Amino acid sequence: MATTCDLQELSKAITKGQKGIGKIGKSLPVLHTVLLRRVNSHVEIVSTDLEKWARGTCRAIATDRPSDDKTLWEICIDPRGLNDWLKAWEVKGKKIREVVLGISKKGETLIVEYSDHPGLSAVATFKGIQGQEFPYIDFEKDKDREFK
């Protein structure tokens, strides 16, 4: 399952979505991650400390399956390494630079591919936790608990 996103939009969504990460050492390990998932035609990055939550989104430019109303893939990862890797590929003045996101069959590894035609390409993998380990958040009901 692969999803193509704009590199800069994804980086901004991660920055916004990681604001709810709990303090290290004071909570469950999954609360030190973000939930990265594809829902419909966008990618969503969510974090929570169980009291408040944050969410960032970016549009999916292309997908390997038609969109529907369910989550097509999800994984919990530490956002710092991914965001640093994405920022290394940003170039000022360059419009759309695409990255392709996917997860391994077991759902525990995020695979990120970047290519700048012609010739330059890179692939990175980020170990994570299966997405169903992340706490459920009712975004509509808990609007007042969003980090601003």
pTM metric for this prediction: 0.87
| Highest-confidence segment of 19-28, 29-38, 135-144 | 29-38
Instruction: Look over the chain and give the mean of its residue pLDDT values, rounded to a whole number.
Output: 86
Identify the residue whose tokens are 């969504």. 13
Give the DSSP H or E segment for 146: none
The model's confidence at residue 117, banded by pLDDT at 50, 70 and 90, is low
Distances (CA, A) of 8 to 31, 49, 89, 131, 138: 25, 26, 9, 24, 27
Which strand (E) or helix (H) includes residue 83? helix 79-89
Residue 66 has pLDDT above 60, yes or no: no
Residue 29 near residue 127 (C-beta atoms within 8 A)? no
Q: What is the pLDDT of residue 121?
A: 83
